[in-house]
Structure 1
Amino acid sequence: MRRPAWLDAVEARLDTAAPPSTTDLARELGLNPAWLAQAYRAAIGEGIGETVRRKRVELATSLLRGSDAPAAEIAVAAGFCDQSHMIRAFRSLIGRTPSQVRAEWQAPKRRAR
């Protein structure tokens, strides 16, 4: 199956710090928002909102593992509106809280010492 021409542009825009809404994205590309949402899901296997949430969780996970910054700061840096929003996204996507992710990462480092 050939990759749709518009998909690279969509993925590039979703990789930004503040990804646009589906409506804004469709407007930028000259596409119908409903068509874009459906075509994106068919091509990728998840919706645009799911992709944005997953990318935010991935970034937050990396930040949690790489720093001792407070979870609230990490939530904002990863694009969540607040810490509770980040917690809900973590539970929904990976079944763990941010503090559990951080603790799991730090536990092997403590044992290695």
Structure 2
Amino acid sequence: QLRRVLDLIESRLHEALTLEDMAEAAGLGVCTFSRRFRETQGRAPHAFVIDQRVKRARELLTIGDLAVKEVAASCGFSDQAHMTRVLRARLGLTPAKLRASGRSAG
């Protein structure tokens, strides 16, 4: 059940994913799914999705040449400003600083 949900998140990370979508993929009701996901992953489904988006954005910004706006869209953020806020909150870095750190490391 959980594998199907993780596959769904990975394949549709660029889209708006609802709790209902994830629960349906698991074949569970929303409350049961949410509780089981939190028990197995250690965080709420929405927080997990945001973490995956941050991870992908970090990868794309440090190794790729996509414009920041394109990175935001491909990672499922509503816009560039939203991605910047989330990256700053989660990593303490802006997209520009992430990109610069990737270039200096490479």
Normalising by structure 1, what TM-score? Answer: 0.80
| TM-score, structure 2 as length reference | 0.85
Q: 1:108 to 1:29 in 2, by over 3 A?
A: closer
String of CA shifts for 1:30-49, please: whole Å, max 9, x gaps: 31101211110111111111
Report the AA paired with residue 93 of structure 2.
R
Q: 2:100 is aligned with what amino acid? A: A
Question: In the alignment, what sits opposite 2:94?
Answer: 97
Moved over 4 A (4+): none
Cα deviation for residue 29 of structure 1 reads: 3.5
Partner Cα distance (1:19, 1:45) in 2? 22
Residue of structure 1 in register with 2:21 after alignment: 24
User: Greater CA radius of gyration, 1 or 2?
Assistant: 1
- In the alignment, what sits opposite 1:12? 7
* Bigger relative contact order, structure 1 or 2 (CA pairs below 8 A, ≥6 apart): 2
Show structure 1 runs of 5+ residues with no match.
1-5
Shift in alpha-carbon separation, 1:101–1:26, aligned structure 2, 3 A:
same
In the alignment, is the contact (CA less than 8 A) between 1:19 and 1:52 conserved in 2?
Answer: no
Q: How does 1:65-76 map to 2 (within 5 A)?
A: 65-76=62-73
Give the whole-Å Cα distance in 1 for the aligned partners of 2:26 and 2:55: 26
Percent of residue pairs bearing the same amino acid type: 29
Q: Which runs of 5+ in 2 are unaligned?
A: none
Shift of 1:99: 1.2
